[in-house]
Amino acid sequence: MAANKIISKIEEEASIEKTNILADAEKKATAVRDKVLASAQTSLESIKAQAKNSAEEAGRRQVLIAELESRKKTLNSQRKILETVFAKVEDALNKLPQDKWEKLITSIVVAASETGEEKLHVPADDVAKYQNGFLAKLNTALQAAGKKGSLTLSDKPAKFKGGVELEGITTDYDGSFASILREVRQKEERQIANILFGTEVK
């Protein structure tokens, strides 16, 4: 009987110890689980926040790209319009009536001539105008401006369509309409763009 009591006592104590161990293990498991869940929740919130920020940033980038692309297309369109405007101006210069054409060429030559002895290079279509008295008019205008008035006409036609080129002893002057308009455009393009578009073309 004594042995049975001892065995029963040991079993009872073992059962209590087992219960305590299981309870402690369960507490630890619960604590670990709660900690893991809390960490996972934090990570999830962080991931959500990052995803939201990334999405917002991606959205901002898309808007910026769209705005830049739109501005690029607008500027390209404005440049094409300016090209067309200057092309039409050059075409109009090439089609000036004789009196206005002579006045324009005279102002170019008198302003650009250094000595009044330059050689003129002119388009093939204009050679006859100079030979039929206009060269003499130019020399008279140069003399009135205090220069020698001894211009000569080159026997080699210029390659440009309209205007005149002066070949001097030390320097030449490109007075072709295309060259003059390029210079005007460089100086006045922003102002012209403001007039046409209300903005600057950069």
Cβ proximity of 148 and 117 under 8 Å: yes
Q: At 175, give phi and psi (nearest 5°).
A: -105, 25
Predicted confidence at residue 1, as pLDDT, reads 47
User: What's the chain's Rg over C-alpha atoms?
Assistant: 46
Neighbouring residues of 156: CB distance < 8 A, sequence distance ≥ 6:
121
pLDDT band for 60, please (50, 70, 90 cuts): confident
pLDDT in tens, 149-161: 999 999 989 999 9
For the ranges 33-37, 54-58, 196-200, the one whose mean pLDDT is highest: 54-58
pLDDT in tens, 93-126: 999 999 999 999 999 999 999 999 999 999 999 9
C-alpha span between 58 and 55 (Å, rounded): 5
**Mean pLDDT for the chain?**
79
